[in-house]
Homo-oligomer: A and B are copies of this chain.
């Protein structure tokens, strides 16, 4: 069930049977010579939609712009500063909590988002903590590549050349979902260099075509299918477990 394709009354009904929601969150940023700029928000959206086919879960609209300051020297990247990102996540959560959502899982598609999302969670919890009252909600961050079994599968599929950005696993997922948008290129070198992530000009100097340690040429639609199916199953289990989690006595 997608929140944005529902009426308010349908959401009110859903809240009678569940207080859990999943928010796909990612980034719109360069993904090397062949990766889609939307890769990082499309992947969690694809996985959540796949999970919804066989589980009664509610999917929020996708939070499609994240913290991508280091990619800003490549055309098409759109980034929030961490402070803006934290403020926006805050308003999303406050809105959802107001309606009675008590378990809010952010399914994340961008490593660069992790710190800011966790800081946003702490900022939200701190409102309750400084007021000596319970928050009333629990927040969870789940990177899709950390869902149960997914990392292992990706390592099996891509024993070398997986890397950290514009990875063949994320490319494969978008290839599976959007076969009409598969792009190709000669990757030189086949496996991109690695190194630290700092400001945008430093990033572009270190990683001239935008890849970081990866060989996206290893991606195939079939591998993408396998990753999505496994991730979707793991997500459904994770949401179920999160829903059933009880507050401390």
Binding site for B on A (CB under 8 A): 2-12, 15, 28, 30-38, 41-42, 60-65, 67, 69-70, 72-84, 86-88, 90-92, 94-96, 98-100, 112, 114-120, 122-123, 125-126, 128-130, 132-135, 138-139, 178, 181, 183, 195-196, 198-202, 205-206, 210, 247-249
By the criterion CB–CB under 8 Å, are B130 and A98 in contact? yes
How far apart are A187's CB and chain B's nearest CB, in angstroms? 13
By the criterion CB–CB under 8 Å, are A94 and B30 in contact? no
By the criterion CB–CB under 8 Å, are A96 and B125 in contact? no
How far apart are A159's CB and chain B's nearest CB, in angstroms? 26
How far apart are A18's CB and chain B's nearest CB, in angstroms? 13
Q: Which of B5, B33, B120 contacts A82 (CB 8 A)?
A: B120
Assembly CA distance A28 to B245 (angstroms): 29
Assembly CA distance A70 to B123 (angstroms): 11
By the criterion CB–CB under 8 Å, are B64 and A64 in contact? yes
By the criterion CB–CB under 8 Å, are A69 and B130 in contact? yes
By the criterion CB–CB under 8 Å, are B82 and A129 in contact? no
By the criterion CB–CB under 8 Å, are B202 and A248 in contact? yes
By the criterion CB–CB under 8 Å, are A126 and B92 in contact? no
Q: Which of B34, B100, B119 contacts A7 (CB 8 A)?
A: B34
By the criterion CB–CB under 8 Å, are B87 and A87 in contact? yes
Q: Which of B6, B74, B200, B249 contacts A37 (CB 8 A)?
A: B6
By the criterion CB–CB under 8 Å, are A7 and B28 in contact? no
By the criterion CB–CB under 8 Å, are B205 and A248 in contact? yes
In the complex, residue of chain B having the shortest beta-carbon distance to the beta carbon of A42: B4
- Chain B residues, Cβ within 8 Å of A118: 115
Instruction: Knowing A88-B84, A201-B133 are in contact, say whether A69-B122 is a contact too (CB < 8 A).
Output: yes
- Chain B residues, Cβ within 8 Å of A206: 248
How far apart are A19's CB and chain B's nearest CB, in angstroms? 12
Instruction: Knowing A15-B75, A60-B78, A134-B201 are in contact, say whether A36-B6 is a contact too (CB < 8 A).
Output: yes
Assembly CA distance A99 to B28 (angstroms): 14
How far apart are A88's CB and chain B's nearest CB, in angstroms? 5
